[in-house]
């Protein structure tokens, strides 16, 4: 039984010029202990999808269709007071920038104590304080530093604190939105190792959102490639690396440098992501695709199963997932 089940999820952002469809018809599931990566360019809908799972899509965003089930409970049907119980206890979110997510005038310990006592009103202040010290110690931070303010920590330490706040109540699911942004590669590796060790210790499921496909390939069991609100490819990380199907996925992989290949030529994907107020007709990727055909320009491709756990949204594959001859765009 899946811990998380998302079905036909569609999210709009109404504007004075029309609605922006940030996420369209996304479906996937995740079991406890599994890791899922969301990859794609800026504006592809990754963060909107992640925030929707804890029903925190920013205003004026609205979920117009679909369901999100956590432990078979459709959270879209819950009143807000019940949803507040889900956040933190069942599902938690690690935001992109810890400096703007932490209250600059509150000590670190106060953040944890407020979190614990809000969700567990019967917990005394001293007990919450002791639990805070334990969590902080498990993050590799000296317990006496809980009396410090956010600005007294480095970027990597602040990110550790954000991770600690996410796992303080032992949730079943953690969503990490660009948890290594603006950190150097050494600190990035430590943060990702910390997330992996905590996932194993607590048995939680993890959704990792990142621009860096190499990180997601290394750290996740399954991967969703997103582009302009659509899921273009969905597969296990091993299958995605060995046999990428969609031209966009292939382009992303070809743009990853390999230090072991001295003669490697990096390939850039031409063009830019589409204007979401006026997306191209048909496949949203066709203006940048080297293999686009006439049908791509007028009809949106369906999501086709091309392997046991491999799905792709592309006309290069027939109805049964069979590869068809590629015709280069004129």
Q: 42-71, pLDDT tens digit by residue?
A: 889 999 999 999 999 999 999 999 999 999
Q: How far is CA 216 from CA 68, 162, 236, 257, 293, in A?
A: 23, 20, 11, 15, 30
Q: Does 108 reside within a domain? A: yes
Q: Does 46 reside within a domain? A: no
Please, which pLDDT band fits residue 281 given cuts at 50, 70 and 90? very high
Q: Does 143 reside within a domain? A: yes
Q: Does 112 reside within a domain? A: yes
Peptide bond into 60 cis (omega under 30): yes
- Rounded Cα gap, residues 208 and 275, in angstroms: 26
How many C-beta atoms lie closer than 10 Å to residue 189's C-beta? Answer: 13
pLDDT at site 323:
55
- Rounded Cα gap, residues 92 and 82, in angstroms: 15
How many C-beta atoms lie closer than 10 Å to residue 97's C-beta? Answer: 15
Burial of 79 (0-12, 13-18, 19+ CB in 10 A): exposed
Q: Does 165 reside within a domain? A: yes
Q: Which domain holds residue 105?
A: 100-169
131, containing H or E segment:
helix 125-138
- Mean pLDDT, residues 155-184 taken together: 88
Q: Does 289 reside within a domain? A: no
Q: Return the percentage of the chain with pLDDT > 90, whole number.
A: 65
Q: 161, 97 in Cβ contact below 8 A?
A: no
Q: Return the percentage of the chain with pLDDT > 70, whole number.
A: 95
- 244 is written with which tokens? 């990428």
Q: 51, 22 in Cβ contact below 8 A?
A: no
Beta strands in the chain (DSSP E): 4-15, 18-30, 35-39, 62-70, 73-74, 91-94, 173-177, 205-210, 222-227, 230-236, 303-307, 310-313
Q: How many domains does the chain have?
A: 1
Q: 5-41, pLDDT tens digit by residue?
A: 999 999 999 999 999 999 999 999 999 999 999 999 9
Q: Does 163 reside within a domain? A: yes
Q: Does 288 reside within a domain? A: no
Nearest to 237 by CA among 258, 256, 251, 253: 253
């Amino acid at each position: 039984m899946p811990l998380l089940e998302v079905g036909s999820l569609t999210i709009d952002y109404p504007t004075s010029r029309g609605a922006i469809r940030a996420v369209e018809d996304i479906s996937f599931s995740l079991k406890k202990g599994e890791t899922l990566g969301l990859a794609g360019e800026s504006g592809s809908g990754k963060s909107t999808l992640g925030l929707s799972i804890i029903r925190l899509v920013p205003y004026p965003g609205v979920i117009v269709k679909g369901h999100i089930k956590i432990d078979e409970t459709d959270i879209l049907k819950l009143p807000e007071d019940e949803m507040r119980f889900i956040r933190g206890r069942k599902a938690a979110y690690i935001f992109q920038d810890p400096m703007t997510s932490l209250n600059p005038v509150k000590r670190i310990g106060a953040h944890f104590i407020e979190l614990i006592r809000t969700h567990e009103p019967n917990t005394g202040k001293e007990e919450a304080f002791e639990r805070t010290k334990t969590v902080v110690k498990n993050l590799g931070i000296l317990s006496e530093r809980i009396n410090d303010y956010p600005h007294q920590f480095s970027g990597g330490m602040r990110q550790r604190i954000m991770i600690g706040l996410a796992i303080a109540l032992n949730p079943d699911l953690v969503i990490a939105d660009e948890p290594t942004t603006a950190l150097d590669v050494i600190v990035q590796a430590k943060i990702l190792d910390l997330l992996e060790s905590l996932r194993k210790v607590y048995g939680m499921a993890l959704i990792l959102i990142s621009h860096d496909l190499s990180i997601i390939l290394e750290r996740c069991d399954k991967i969703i490639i997103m582009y302009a609100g659509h899921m273009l490819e969905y597969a296990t990380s091993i299958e995605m690396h060995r046999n990428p199907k969609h031209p966009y996925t292939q382009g992303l992989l070809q743009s990853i440098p390999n230090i072991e290949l001295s003669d490697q030529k990096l390939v850039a994907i031409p063009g830019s992501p589409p204007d979401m107020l006026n997306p191209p007709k048909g496949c949203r990727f066709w203006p940048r695709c080297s293999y686009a055909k006439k049908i791509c320009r007028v009809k949106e491709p369906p999501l086709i199963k091309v392997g046991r756990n491999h799905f792709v949204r592309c006309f290069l594959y027939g109805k049964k997932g069979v590869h068809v001859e590629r015709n280069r765009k004129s």
